[in-house]
A and B are shown apart, each in its own frame.
Chain A
Amino acid sequence: KQEVTQIPAALSVPEGENLVLNCSFTDSAIYNLQWFRQDPGKGLTSLLLIQSSQREQTSGRLNASLDKSSGRSTLYIAASQPGDSATYLCAVRRVDSSYKLIFGSGTRLLVRP
């Protein structure tokens, strides 16, 4: 059974700091991995999607890496801003026809001005 774990559960950093969010999964047989952002009371916004054959994806100040063999992904946020404050969720899609996403519990990020 695929399990996804995100550490830390919460993180508070001063503005401008570079930071790394961690995601680990137990079954390396994944189709892809996706990072989402969730603002309080809102739905999920897709940030980055990494196919199983890829090592990383970048979008602006965000960089996500994938090490499938070790079951790990990291989301790197450069020069953090107060507007980055949100919950960040990672999710893996299984290698089957279900298209089902298995989510971690998320990391709640607070960037202090």
Chain B
Amino acid sequence: EAGVVQSPRYKIIEKKQPVAFWCNPISGHNTLYWYRQNLGQGPELLIRYENEEAVDDSQLPKDRFSAERLKGVDSTLKIQPAELGDSAVYLCASARQGAEGYTFGSGTRLTVV
């Protein structure tokens, strides 16, 4: 089966510009996560979806970040406007609802200059 697909792999933008990341989870995986990984750190959860519902977005900086998962499949994560401190790797993961382990995508490395 195809894994979790993320695009783009890399993105360089100037501060104050908008940016969007896309994730296609494994077919049949109802749970989708977005994590952010700063350099030298472990990933931290931003948001979790169960189908199309965001059930945990408590750590999403809602002033500039937004996410959606229309139809409960693909998901996009948007930042507007981007700040220098947003430079990180944004990872998407999916799991069957109630499954024991996640599968992560390859991530999008964002650099804000």
Contacts and interface: CB of A to CB of B under 8 A. Distances in A.
B95 A99 contact: yes
B103 A46 contact: yes
B63 interface: no
Interface string A70-113: 00000000000000000001010000001111011110000000
A44 to B, nearest CB: 4
Contact of A103 (B44, B101, B105): B44
A4 B33 CA distance: 20
A31 to B, nearest CB: 9
Nearest to B106: A43
Nearest to A45: B104
Q: How large is the interface on B (under 10, 10 to 19, 20 to 34, 35 or more residues)?
A: 20 to 34
B88 to A, nearest CB: 13
B6 to A, nearest CB: 8
A8 B109 CA distance: 25
Given A41-B109, A44-B91, A104-B42, A99 B101 contact: no
A42 interface: yes
A43 B43 CA distance: 10
A96 to B, nearest CB: 10
A97 B40 CA distance: 28
Given A44-B104, A89-B42, A105-B41, A99 B109 contact: no
B42 A105 contact: yes
7 contacts: A44-B91, A44-B104, A46-B101, A46-B103, A49-B100, A49-B101, A98-B48
The 6 closest A-B pairs by CB, nearest first: A103-B42, A43-B106, A44-B104, A43-B104, A43-B107, A49-B101
Interface of B: 4, 6, 31, 33, 40-45, 48, 56, 91, 93, 95, 100-107, 109
Given A99-B48, A103-B41, A105-B42, 19 more contacts: A4-B42, A34-B101, A42-B107, A43-B4, A43-B105, A43-B106, A44-B43, A44-B104, A45-B104, A46-B101, A46-B102, A46-B103, A49-B100, A89-B43, A91-B42, A101-B43, A101-B45, A101-B102, A106-B40
